[in-house]
Structure 1
Amino acid sequence: MKKSVLALTASLAFAAGSVSAQEVIITTGKSGGGYHGVFGTNLARVLKEQGHDASVVTSLGSIQNLDRVNSGEAHIGFTQGDAFAAWSKKHPNSNVEEIGSLGEECVFVATREDGIDDEDDIGEGTKIAVGEKGTGSAVSWDYLRTLEDDYAEASTFYQGGIRSLAKVASGQFDAFLWVTAPGNLNHSYLEAVNANDDLRVISLNDYSLNEKLPSGETVYEFHDVVVREGRFSDTEVETPCTSVLAVANTEMGAEALESAAAAIMMNANRIRGL
């Protein structure tokens, strides 16, 4: 019954030239984060301009968004590509469909200058902090561990924030992992690393990390990403990057899905805040 109501609601909400009394619910991320404050807010604004009634709700991130869209609690949501791949393995017959891409997010790993040299050193005995459970960075790390046996042997600490970076600098942790858009040199973690001579960002380029999304696209693409700008040359690392995806509930119906996908494709840069 819930799915039938969702399909009817979505069809009404996206019907051309009409405004539904029911809302199109977009599940996003934490308040103040990019999924909520940028993607969700801007997508809702686009849909409202097209005559639809859209609302934005906060969430814990990718996994909760996928669960909500699958159950019908929300119509549209955002997720990292690697989170979608991991989630899809556990939900092979889900009601979730990818309807658009909104850029990329990359995995960054910080270590001490005199500590881990490269990703080949990550394994048994390594202490790595990856952010709180349910966050994008923790989801990425948990997924990476399923692809690389050495990563699975590392000791994982679900702690985040600048305090975790400080523990890397002091030697309590060997590494700290986070996820953000490439080129985001103003990210607080990267700024903290660049301000500390004892810390650096290393490459994470093990090519065993390739898998496929349900759409057939690769989960990760490896990019050379600038992590520090210099007067004469920049510092780059090679790291895996995954797409930021918009997903929708398939019970919305073909017309509603098509309208939602078109809204995202035709307004991608605006939704990304560009």
Structure 2
Amino acid sequence: MKLIQVVTLLSAVAFFSSCTPEVPELQPGTFTLFFDNRIGDQEITLREAGSTAYDYTTEDGQSFNLSTLRYYLGKIVLTGPEGAYFEDEIAVDASGTRGYYLVNEAETTSSSIVLEGIPAGIYDAVQFIIGIDEDGIEQGAAGGILDPAEGAWFWNWNAGYIGLGIEGSAEDSGQEYVDWGGGFETLEGTFAYHIGGWKDVADNENFVNNIKTVSLPLGTTIEVQSDLAPTAHVVVDVLNLLDGVGVDFSTTYAVHSPREGMTIADGISDMFMVHHVHQSAASDSHE
């Protein structure tokens, strides 16, 4: 009798177990970083080089405009409070570049970076570097956005890439007109901040490492999976950088080497903040 009861019980357990639906494993999804370049609370209007239409003012009362704003970023990492982790793949060779990105204010489409294959999970922070570090240089020949033949701003092996480029005109700029020959010139009243450098060179103090890591809380948690594709709206405030390092256009108007760029590089992290996030379906698109 007991044997019959045991067999009956086991049969019932097997029956109900077979009827319990399996919970499908959540699949990877996408996450978008949208970079909104601004000057304080103003949108950026790029002017022609040498223009004397000054759109912005520093906290010290110096008027200026922008003609160029571009920066490289890479090594993006997402982390979550419960251990979720994603590290964007880096791959650089002559055929192309993965894991490094160029945001160029003159090219609207460059402002959105879509990351794919992110493990399903909950995330609340993002980290990335500004500039191109050793993984983008030591490979040698680089294609895509790191190819000088395609417009990449590359100095040389020791100095590396210009990780951040800010150019414009300022009412108080001390820059005089220079004719470099061959059709190249520097216009009066302009400024150019070219911030680069990826390593310290022991026997040459002109070469320093100006790569900066930016770590940003998202301000909330977001969920990534195959049918959820959140977007983080990152405000990039150039005025925070200029005011934070105390730029004076009358004395600082031509920065063209890693060492010269150290002070400005130290303020790079202050440019970035996550303004808000969109927790949206994969079929939606937000900025």
TM-score over 0.5 (shorter chain): no
Higher helix residue share: 1
Q: TM-score, normalised by structure 1?
A: 0.26
Q: More relative contact order in 1 or in 2 (CA 8 Å, sep 6+)? A: 1
Higher strand residue share: 2
Larger Rg: 2
